[in-house]
Chains A and B, each alone.
Chain A
């Protein structure tokens, strides 16, 4: 059976995969300053969650920030320009790879403070409830963040006030290089919802259809006013914690990485699912080509864009600018 969102979902997954591959290439070319964290391997979890949201629903994310805005429908050009530190970047060169915030698609921030985005999305849900809209908020976080107080405090308040928020854990099993099994007293993150009276759902994060179905249900529950849901998508990151970071010492087995890449690649699995429910080979190839074109255009745009002027560093500190006397910059 064909699903009417299939094409868009597959396009977004291909865009994330292609975008991340292009970023990795730019890093090897020396075009990127600072650290980049790739979402490759986690595309089904991200897009499955985002496709269940409307454009005006809120989303917060993490330092692994490239996939989330793409998953929610952002244009690629300003995202790529931001990674290259250009004036045309979505955050005008003030955020960079870890902070690809695009408010036009409902993002309220990608936080490099682990767990930092969770209260923000919970607050956005509070805002929707107070203002009487039917918007919901979804917060992406990893298996590392569930050991932060911010997670526990936020999910408790979401429960007592029945806030329209979806707590979405991309459990890729490793917080940087620390295995979750060494830091979680209870290996299933979803069961932590029990302690707060919040339903917890475990889904196969490599399976778009499973993630999408679970999130659709959680979003419906939130919009009805029935409160939050905790979704745990068991997934896997194919790259190192940080692109180009080579860890001396095996913290995850080579066989495990190989198995995920060969048997559990979410883009490949979704392609197979699409073929089996009747999507033509040519149609899928056309989507892949479209994604590749959009990524190429984004890279070209980013490379051609101007760098910001150093004096612009002083802009955007305050919304209602105050008579701050200009502080000096050490002359070159």
Chain B
């Protein structure tokens, strides 16, 4: 990959571009999901055969399962499940079929399917549109899970997911849709699955950031810098497989760790990271592990009820400060 041309685009544009490029590159790539006919009708996908863009009825269990069957028989489907709370309706094909069939058949089949869902956060959509279901899929062997937090990662990780031979879940943060940055234009630009990124180097505290928590984590790090506290921010980018080496390397530098995630507390990604650090990095720790996460209650509608629940620049910063 040459260090090369970029274009300034949004996170949402990056996702669309990733799909268009992969559809153009590989005739086996198809899209299936609700409300996607406009992509074809609007000409946004060029002269792609309309057979490859299936605007489906509201039948998540059915079309997600069909995507699994299509993946086993020569296609590489991208399933658009729209809002992450709807992923539960496709649980059987994702968990019982996609995740397990390669294993259960002794390697006779591969299941190259991508399940996309956007997570709506802090936007007054109430509990049935505000889920962040990635922890429960981390708990299902056979699935890869990515959580891009920047436009470049949105493009590069989605393209990597489409090219991967295993089922990959892509959880996208809706409040990042409008975020802009320079994104590589190389059609073969991918971000490898399983690699975390150090977004900011530091020596006193590590903030491990999950998904859209990158933004308040970086803001908190900047605040602490003003007080002479040097913060390293590690953006995990992929949850399965987790880049544990990167976590341990950062912990080796700082000896202190805060895990920031907008998802709920119990059995969350942050809980798993904390357990790994406690088991494998105990001797590196100079202070207790801290989680900054959302309490275990359904997400309420009214903004004054919803907003204070989430990790913030202030709460992440306070957690980091408390370790020094």
Q: Are A123 and B70 in contact (CB under 8 A)?
A: yes
- B68 near A119 with CB under 8 A, answer yes
Nearest residue (CB) in A for B241 is A322
Query: Given the complex, which residues of B lie within 8 Å of A137, measured CB to CB?
Result: 69
Contacts A120-B97, A127-B73, A127-B75 hold; do A91 and B108 have CB atoms under 8 A apart? yes
Partner of B102, one of A90, A317, A323, A324: A317
Within 8 A of A (CB), among B154-197: 164-166, 193-194
Do A157 and B63 have beta carbons less than 8 Å apart?
Answer: yes
User: In B112-154, which residues have CB < 8 Å from any A CB?
Assistant: 112, 141-142, 144
Contact partner of B66 (CB less than 8 A), chosen from A99, A113, A119, is A119
Task: Say if the beta carbon of B244 comes within 8 Å of chain A.
Answer: yes
Smallest beta-carbon distance B181→chain A, Å:
27
Interface residues of A in 112-169 (CB under 8 A from B): 113, 116, 118-131, 137, 149-150, 152-154, 156-157, 160-161
In B89-126, the 8 Å CB interface with A consists of 92-93, 96-97, 101-112
Which of A103-111, A170-178, A258-266 faces chain B?
A103-111
Question: Interface segment, B49-57, B282-290, B301-309?
Answer: B49-57
Q: Are B62 and A156 in contact (CB under 8 A)?
A: yes
Q: How far is the CA of A318 from the CA of B103 in the complex (A)?
A: 8
CB atoms of A109 and B166 under 8 A apart:
no
Residue of A nearest to B105 (CB): A101
Task: Chain A residues near B241: list those with CB within 8 A.
Answer: 322-324
CA distance A19 to B80 in the complex (A): 43
Instruction: Check if B51 sits within 8 Å of A123, measured CB to CB.
Output: no
Instruction: Tally chain A residues at the interface, Cβ within 8 Å.
Output: 52
Give the shortest distance, in Å, between B238 (CB) and chain A (any CB).
9
A212 at interface, CB cutoff 8 A? no
**A58 is an interface residue with CB less than 8 A from chain B:** yes
Closest approach, in angstroms, between the C-beta of A146 and any C-beta of chain B? Answer: 14
Q: Contacts A58-B73, A316-B102; is A123 near B67 (CB within 8 Å)? A: yes
User: Which of A101, A127, A320, A324 is in CB contact (< 8 Å) with B104?
Assistant: A101
B73 lies within 8 A of A319 (CB): no
Whether a CB of chain A sits under 8 angstroms from the CB of B65 is: yes
- A120 to B61 CA separation, bound complex (whole angstroms): 11
- A116-B92, A127-B69 known; A319-B102 Cβ under 8 A: yes
Q: Is B266 an interface residue (CB 8 A)?
A: no
**Partner among B49, B66, B70, B103 whose Cβ is within 8 Å of the Cβ of A316:** B103
Asked if B73 and A149 sit within 8 Å, CB to CB, the answer is no
Query: Measured between alpha carbons, how far is A56 from B52 in the docked complex, in Å?
Result: 22
How near does chain A come to B102, taking the closest CB pair, in angstroms? 6
Q: In the bound complex, how far is the Cα of B79 from the Cα of A123, in angstroms?
A: 12
| In the complex, residue of chain B having the shortest beta-carbon distance to the beta carbon of A78 | B106
Evaluate contact between A109 and B194: CB separation under 8 angstroms: no
The one of A58, A60, A119 in contact with B61, judged by C-beta atoms closer than 8 angstroms, is A119
Does A95 lie at the interface of the complex (its beta carbon under 8 Å from any beta carbon of B)? yes
Expressed in whole angstroms, the Cα–Cα distance for A109 and B108 within the complex equals: 10
Please name the residue on chain A nearest to B163 by beta carbon.
Answer: A320
Is residue B6 within 8 Å, beta carbon to beta carbon, of the partner chain?
no
Q: Is the CB of A317 within 8 A of B142?
A: yes
Closest to B276 in A: A325
- Most A CB contacts (10 A, CB to CB) among B52, B67, B73, B104 go to B73
Is the beta-carbon distance between A157 and B64 smaller than 8 angstroms? no
Identify the closest chain A residue to B110 (Cβ). Answer: A319
Report B-chain residues with C-beta under 8 Å of the C-beta of A108: 69, 72-73, 109
When the two chains form their complex, are residues A124 and B73 in contact, meaning their CB atoms are under 8 A apart? yes
Within 8 A of A (CB), among B26-67: 30, 49, 51-52, 54, 56-57, 59, 61-67
- Is the CB–CB distance between A157 and B66 below 8 Å? yes
| B295: Cβ under 8 A from any A Cβ | no
For residue B298, CB closer than 8 A to chain A, the reply is no
A303 at the interface (CB under 8 A from B): no
Cβ of A315 under 8 Å from chain B: yes
Q: In the complex the two chains form, is B110's CB within 8 Å of A153's CB?
A: no
CA distance A325 to B279 in the complex (A): 14
Q: A123-B65, A150-B61 known; A111 and B102 CB under 8 Å? A: no
Q: Which of B61, B66, B70, B106 contacts A93 (CB 8 A)?
A: B106
In the complex, A113 Cα to B65 Cα: how many Å? 12
**Roughly how many angstroms separate A299 CA and B108 CA in the complex, as a whole number?**
23
CA distance A149 to B52 in the complex (A): 25
Offer 8 A-B interface pairs, CB within 8 angstroms, sorted by A. Answer: A58-B69, A91-B104, A108-B109, A119-B64, A123-B68, A126-B69, A150-B92, A316-B106
The 4 closest A-B pairs by CB, nearest first: A119-B65, A123-B69, A153-B62, A92-B106
* B interface residues with partner A (beta carbon < 8 Å): 30, 49, 51-52, 54, 56-57, 59, 61-75, 77, 92-93, 96-97, 101-112, 141-142, 144, 164-166, 193-194, 241, 244
